[in-house]
Amino acid sequence: MCSLGKFTSPLPNDIVPLDLATRLRSDPHSINMASNDYGNLVHESPSAVLYPSSIDDIVNLIKFSNNCSTPFGISARGRGHSVGGQAMARGGVVVDMPSLSQMGLE
């Protein structure tokens, strides 16, 4: 069982590090920024947005989802450009890829 709202999981801490939860945001501003594509054609609200500081953050998010009884969707988002809303993750987690470039991981 997993809960995005509280970021809880029955998994051991070495599989889901505590700092993964600190990089997940569910505040209205983060959700709003990740809910629209670049052209404002597609509108889908995720449950959370991950601002990764490393590739490991993304790996840990995928492991977290895959170990849930009902895995949630994960979508990588660059600048929101996609043909049909592929950068959206309704009810799941959008991974904000530009945050990696701020860490020098381009």
Burial class (CB in 10 A: 0-12, 13-18, 19+), 45: middle
Does residue 17 contact residue 60 with C-beta atoms inside 8 Å? yes
pLDDT of residue 14: 42
Rounded-to-integer distance, Cα 17 and Cα 23, Å: 11
pLDDT of residue 41: 76
pLDDT digits (tens, 9 = 90+) for 18-58: 677 788 888 999 999 888 877 777 788 888 899 998 899 99
DSSP state of 43: B
Residue 91 β-bridge partners:
none
pTM: 0.77
What are the residue ranges spanned by the domains of the chain? 18-102
Residue 24 corresponds to which tokens in the numbers above?
């997940």
Burial letters for 9-25: b for 16+ Cβ neighbours within 10 Å, e otherwise? beeeeeebeeebeebbb
pLDDT of residue 39: 74
Per-residue confidence band for 98, with pLDDT thresholds at 50, 70 and 90: confident
Q: Around Cβ 55, how many Cβ atoms within 10 Å? A: 10
Pick the CATH number of 18-102 from 3.30.43.10, 3.40.50.1820, 3.20.20.70, 1.10.10.10: 3.30.43.10
Residue 79 in this model has a pLDDT that exceeds 60: yes
* One-letter amino acid for residue 95 of the chain: V
Rounded-to-integer distance, Cα 92 and Cα 100, Å: 20
Mean pLDDT of the residues in the chain: 77
